């Protein structure tokens, strides 16, 4: 096949609009699942209660069920005696049905029993329906429990079951297929004691699958496909025929001599975007085949993750009728100058910690293949395409990758990579996980410059 260059690079905003607009009406439809396993699912229609809760008048306290009228006039100066042996007062426990013709419960703490528990003395009256849960106090049969598009939480499962809903109609999970490609890829369990020269452990599919599952999808990962156009074409057709809602082809999205994804998407369907002005993630392909979205995910790990977060995760949320939560940000001062290519929107991995009255952000090393920069980062800085970087000491907005409370407790260390720091971090985490040590390996001079 002829090598395919980037014909028209798109900005991130343009690419997202083209891609999302194409699938604006895309939904995964509905399925019925057991209420007990519906946590995290999205309701596909309105859910109404079948039963009231309580379905009977019940005691809200341990005590004596009585007619409130029989207690009127009771006081410290003029206590009243109620008979238990003739049913004037009936002992009840919390949750028990209220006996017929009773409309209140006297708390057991306010009762003095006499004559072998055959009578009770009270010194205060109760009003009608005091300490009683009336029919439908919590849920009334036929009332709306949840509207369409509600994300079911743990407490919601209890409401479903209490309201008599053993099953619930929810949005079907999107079916995502991941096709890893590359002659150089090898599975970890197929290796011995070392990785042969020229081979790379296939790990991207596991990361992409975890991101898709976290977004609510069901994921199928195929066997690795060789860098051969015919093999990739056959696998694409096969997976589309299986009914995937979204297909990800990992690697082969760039403009190399063995990168076939864009030609195949163009041959079988339509390429919406080939190349996005972001870094990492530039080689991303967004297309459609047989009305199914197909994404060519870059092969470098960090590029793949950025592409997933920017294009795939939002589409999966849309398919399920979900809104993505807003990303929490924190202002921070840059620890050093951060140059960036003009015309490219760059995502830089950062470590953020509090020093004195300010948050300080230290950039981790660049490199779309350095996945450990993401495992160590607790924030992300987005440098707009209109800037050529950010200056040391400038206040920037950092998108947090962890809860802000964790950032507030992070012990920030920057300088040479000393293995003793890794040992110290593990020691601190075992003693008190609330105080992580974050070290950035920028060299001795970089550490000194950060003190300026």
pLDDT per residue over 270-317, tens digit each? 999 999 999 999 999 999 999 999 999 999 999 999 999 999 999 999
- Does 222 share its domain with 108? no
- Does 182 share its domain with 167? no
pLDDT band at 214 (very low <50, low <70, confident <90, very high): very high
pLDDT above 70 coverage of the chain, percent: 91
| In 19-162, beta strands by DSSP E | 30-34, 47-48, 58-59, 63-66, 80-83, 90-92, 104-107, 112-114, 119-122, 132-133, 144-146
Give pLDDT, residue 427. 76
pLDDT digits (tens, 9 = 90+) for 121-142: 999 999 999 999 999 999 999 9
- Does 147 share its domain with 193? no
Give pLDDT, residue 438. 72
Tell me the two tokens of residue 48.
């109404």
pLDDT band at 451 (very low <50, low <70, confident <90, very high): low
pLDDT band at 35 (very low <50, low <70, confident <90, very high): very high
Q: Decide if 70 is inside a domain.
A: yes
- Does 81 share its domain with 201? no
Mean pLDDT over each residue of the chain, to the nearest integer: 89
Q: What angle do CA 159, 165, 170 make, to 5 degrees?
A: 90
- pLDDT of 328 > 90? The answer is yes
CATH no. for residue 424?
Answer: 2.40.340.10
- pLDDT of 65 > 70? The answer is yes
Average pLDDT over residues 210-238: 94
- pLDDT of 394 > 90? The answer is yes
Q: Decide if 2 is inside a domain.
A: no
- Does 257 share its domain with 335? no
Given 264, 296, 319, the domain boundary residue is 319
Write the CB contacts of 192 (distance below 8 Å, at least 6 apart in sequence).
none
Q: Decide if 324 is inside a domain.
A: no
Given 80, 111, 133, the domain boundary residue is 133
CATH no. for residue 155?
Answer: 3.90.105.10
Give pLDDT, residue 336. 85
- Does 338 share its domain with 429? yes
pLDDT band at 46 (very low <50, low <70, confident <90, very high): very high
pLDDT digits (tens, 9 = 90+) for 346-361: 999 999 998 888 999 9
Give pLDDT, residue 90. 94
pLDDT above 90 coverage of the chain, percent: 69
Q: Which of 380, 377, 373 is nearest to 397 (CA)?
A: 380
pLDDT band at 257 (very low <50, low <70, confident <90, very high): low
CATH no. for residue 306?
Answer: 3.40.980.10
Q: 316 with 331: CB under 8 angstroms?
A: no
Q: Decide if 6 is inside a domain.
A: no
Average pLDDT over residues 405-429: 76
Q: Which domain holds residue 119?
A: 58-133
Give pLDDT, residue 6. 57
Q: Decide if 192 is inside a domain.
A: yes
- Does 315 share its domain with 408? no
Q: Decide if 5 is inside a domain.
A: no
Alpha-carbon span 271 to 9, nearest angstrom? 12
- Does 184 share its domain with 289? yes
- Does 182 share its domain with 313? yes
Tell me the two tokens of residue 428.
């601190």
Q: Which of 70, 91, 92 is nearest to 81 (CA)?
A: 70
- Does 220 share its domain with 315? yes
Q: 320 with 174: CB under 8 angstroms?
A: yes
- pLDDT of 395 > 70? The answer is yes
Q: How many domains does the chain have?
A: 4
Half-sphere exposure of 211 (CA within 13 A, CB side): 24
Q: Decide if 83 is inside a domain.
A: yes
- Does 72 share its domain with 20? no
Given 297, 319, 341, the domain boundary residue is 319
CATH no. for residue 79?
Answer: 2.170.190.11
pLDDT band at 416 (very low <50, low <70, confident <90, very high): low
- pLDDT of 118 > 80? The answer is yes
- Does 177 share its domain with 315? yes
Alpha-carbon span 280 to 10, nearest angstrom? 14
pLDDT digits (tens, 9 = 90+) for 83-93: 998 889 999 99
Helix (H) or strand (E) run with residue 246 in it: strand 246-250
């Amino acid at each position: 096949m002829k090598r395919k260059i980037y014909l028209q690079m798109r900005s991130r905003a343009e690419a997202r609009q083209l891609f999302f607009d194409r699938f604006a009406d895309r939904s995964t439809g509905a399925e019925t699942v057991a209420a007990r396993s519906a946590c995290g699912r999205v309701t596909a229609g309105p859910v109404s209660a079948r039963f009231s809760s309580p379905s009977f008048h019940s005691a809200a306290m341990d005590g004596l069920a009585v007619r409130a009228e029989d207690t009127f006039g009771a006081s410290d100066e003029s206590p009243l005696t109620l008979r238990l042996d003739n049913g004037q007062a009936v002992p009840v426990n919390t949750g028990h049905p209220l006996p017929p013709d009773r409309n209140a419960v006297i708390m057991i703490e306010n009762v003095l029993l006499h004559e072998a528990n055959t009578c009770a003395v009270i010194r205060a009256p109760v009003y009608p329906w005091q300490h009683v849960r009336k029919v439908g106090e919590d849920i009334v049969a036929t009332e709306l429990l949840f509207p369409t598009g509600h994300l079911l939480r743990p407490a919601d499962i209890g409401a479903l079951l209490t309201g008599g809903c053993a099953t619930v109609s929810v949005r079907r999970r999107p079916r995502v297929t991941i096709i890893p490609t590359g002659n150089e890829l090898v599975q970890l369990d197929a290796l011995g004691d070392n990785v042969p020269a020229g081979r790379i452990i296939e790990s991207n599919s596991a990361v992409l699958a975890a991101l898709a599952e976290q977004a609510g999808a069901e994921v199928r990962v195929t066997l690795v496909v060789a860098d051969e156009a015919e093999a990739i074409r056959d696998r694409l057709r096969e997976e589309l025929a299986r009914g995937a809602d979204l297909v990800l082809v990992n690697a082969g999205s760039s403009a190399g001599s063995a990168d076939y994804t864009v030609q195949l998407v163009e041959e079988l369907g339509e390429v919406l975007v080939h190349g996005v002005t972001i870094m990492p993630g530039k080689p991303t392909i967004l297309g459609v085949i047989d009305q199914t979205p197909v994404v060519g995910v870059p092969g470098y790990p960090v590029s793949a993750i950025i592409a997933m977060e920017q294009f795939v995760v939002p589409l999966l949320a849309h398919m399920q009728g979900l809104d993505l939560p807003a990303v929490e940000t924190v202002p921070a001062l840059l620890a050093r100058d951060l140059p960036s290519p003009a015309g490219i929107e760059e995502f830089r991995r950062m470590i953020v910690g509090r020093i004195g009255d300010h948050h300080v952000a230290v950039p981790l090393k660049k490199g779309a293949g350095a996945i450990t920069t993401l495992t160590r980062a607790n924030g992300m800085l987005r440098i707009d395409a209109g800037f050529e970087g950010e200056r040391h000491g400038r206040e920037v907005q950092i998108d947090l990758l962890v809860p802000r409370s964790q950032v507030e407790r992070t012990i920030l260390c920057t300088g040479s990579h000393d293995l003793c720091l890794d040992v110290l971090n593990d020691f601190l985490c075992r003693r008190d996980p609330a105080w992580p040590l974050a070290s950035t390996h920028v060299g001795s001079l970089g550490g000194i410059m950060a003190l300026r």
